Chain A
């Protein structure tokens, strides 16, 4: 069975600083990996996804993530955070691109301080 671990429950970052959110997955085959963001009271918005090819993927809002098969990781990064990035971030893994039955991590809450 597939699973996702987000080891950081809560991260606080100063505005303008860099960010890295960790995600580790467990899956027997090639995983399909996703990062979603959930702002307070909102649904989930897809930031980026990895299916195959280049292991560094670019997403919306200046985010990127790197797939490292050897480490079973898919960490999310942003070089300079903005106050509007404060939200809950979820990493997810799926079995295929045509059947997006996803398993989500527990989420990382990001707080931005001035």
Chain B
């Protein structure tokens, strides 16, 4: 199994600012993903974080708004840029590649 740590666990942000969320996995993993869970909603995949190359974004998500880095096999960051109240969500990092997808506890962002 993989243990995933995310920082920050929660934050309150001002409109127009940006916030970077860090995700650390305790073992090397093939796949890393970023999901968004809006209040009372299910999980929506934002992008696949690719090691050493640009992330692969799902429809409706763009790099300018959600830049992602993955410098190695155990670490990734997601930045939520120029935030608005509509970005208030839980952002979840996940890791897979062995037949199971593991999740961090999420980063709960509130944008005022």
Q: Taking beta carbons and an 8 Å cutoff, which residues of A are in contact with B?
A: 34, 36, 41-46, 49, 51, 90, 92, 94, 97-107
Which residues from chain A contact B104 at a C-beta distance below 8 Å?
A: 43
Q: Taking beta carbons and an 8 Å cutoff, which residues of B are in contact with A?
A: 4, 30-31, 33, 41-45, 48, 92, 94, 96-106
How many angstroms between the C-alpha atoms of A102 and B58 in the bound complex? 12
A-B contact count (CB 8 A): 56
Of listed A42, A92, A99, A100, residue having the most chain B CB within 10 A: A100
Which single residue of chain B is at the shortest CB-CB distance from A99?
A: B31
* Residues A98 and B99 in contact, CB atoms below 8 Å apart: yes
How many angstroms between the C-alpha atoms of A105 and B103 in the bound complex? 16
* Residues A98 and B97 in contact, CB atoms below 8 Å apart: yes
Q: Choose among A43, A94, A97 the residue that contacts B105 (Cβ–Cβ < 8 A).
A: A43
Tell me the smallest distance from the CB of B69 to a CB of chain A, in Å.
Answer: 19
